Structure 1
């Protein structure tokens, strides 16, 4: 794992390229609008309150229970798909930098993650505020985010590394990832609750083969005062270890071919 860890550590210590570039991208995108970066607040606010209120009545549940469930699911799902989708062509998008000699590829991966992370943190601020206003949830449970979110980020990063390498080698990767994520959204309990699909049923087993189910539940359940399923804890542990081992192997073996592929 020395290759990817060495580059990742170096990228974190020298973050001028990816951290500043992300903020510059956001500032440039919104500087001519009336609300500026305030537009970052509107999508999660509209989605969580609008869709949450509508679906809570369609499901016959309480808005105070369903809206927090939807809110956390939405921002965690958006973080995951935004990072992975953009990772699929991140090297091709930075071809000029790579051909110019910048071959510390974790800079580009972290740039993609940092952009998604910025949107996520704005969404998290919105969701936490809404949860405190509409939900009877004990605010102390939200402190579990300090422990669960880093684990989620680490899993998203190893997925991003693998997808970026595949995307450099196979240009169709982005379209394939987008297609897979359409079905992944339907199989992930965001607009519905996992209790509706018990684990002993066929649909329950299929849903629990979905890694995004475990990633989201691992963060969301403790934040809302529930305990994740034992299978979720096992899955997260296995994904964290084997995912990084696989990412490190692929990075060490194939990263040097990226300039040729793109």
Structure 2
């Protein structure tokens, strides 16, 4: 029974990847619909993010007594990426619920709806990423070739976000109170992960708990470190890769077990 469920889940995921053009079209349509009749469009989010980065950077930079050339790019890369992570996970909670009409009317792979929300958030992330080179320009800091390593880092982050969104979409379709809990947990993780504070500001004993044992720190590092001219550690890559393997094993189990009930739950 378990093998049958796993094969069904895997077949759905593979079929959805073959329908990537459909997911891409739906994602673009979502972004266009959300900012319809807006002169600036999704760049409103970029403007808002830029103002927030500038405000927090000035205040916390002085609190931590960190040079702006070090702290502002660190903060910008972290906040831009965290915007992608938190939005994808939060929207993943309602991934199937929001697609109720399509799920009940069209026989398309269910994972298409997960790809759709990930692509939508990746588009917005691309808009926000424009802020980072502007921050580097403002502090007079160059962008070196190490920045290219952020591309495989982002790919691995998206692989992790896909299984997270898939599991949450299944569970939240059944338990409608869970999205609020997930949003609260993400808010706590935002403060526990070095986004607004520098890792070296922690005492050594705290680094074990808030850095080494925090999977979100490793996910952030494989993208942020190359943009700051550094290379992620082997531990960053190992934890992020291991998280993807274990997470996808869990996602296939959960999705396969409850896939047939999703249409009734939504």
TM, length-normalised to structure 2: 0.89
Moved over 6 A (4+): none
Matches within 5 A, 1:94-243: 94-198=99-203, 200-201=204-205, 203-208=206-211, 209-243=213-247
- Secondary structure at 1:92 match in 2: coil
What is the aligned counterpart of 2:80 among 66, 75, 81?
Answer: 75
Change (3 A) 1:28 1:130: same
Contact 1:41 1:122 (8 Å CA) reproduced: yes
- Secondary structure at 1:91 match in 2: coil
Deviations for 1:167-198, whole angstroms, at most 9, x for unmatched residues?
11211110110111111011010110111124
Structure 2 match to 1:19: 24
- Give the aligned length: 260
Deviations for 1:102-151, whole angstroms, at most 9, x for unmatched residues?
35111111111111111111111221342244253442121111221111
**Partner Cα separation in structure 2 for residue 19 and residue 32 of structure 1:** 21
Contact 1:65 1:135 (8 Å CA) reproduced: no
Structure 1 match to 2:50: 45
Change (3 A) 1:110 1:91: same
TM, length-normalised to structure 1: 0.90
- Secondary structure at 1:80 match in 2: helix
**Partner Cα separation in structure 1 for residue 150 and residue 236 of structure 2:** 16
Structure 2 match to 1:254: 258
Contact 2:144 2:229 (8 Å CA) reproduced: no
What is the aligned counterpart of 1:55 among 54, 60, 71?
Answer: 60
Note the aligned Cα RMSD (angstroms).
Answer: 2.1
Listed as ranges, the gaps of 5+ residues in structure 1 are: none
**Partner Cα separation in structure 1 for residue 41 and residue 85 of structure 2:** 25
Contact 2:87 2:121 (8 Å CA) reproduced: yes
Listed as ranges, the gaps of 5+ residues in structure 2 are: 1-5
**Partner Cα separation in structure 2 for residue 154 and residue 135 of structure 1:** 33
Contact 1:18 1:111 (8 Å CA) reproduced: yes
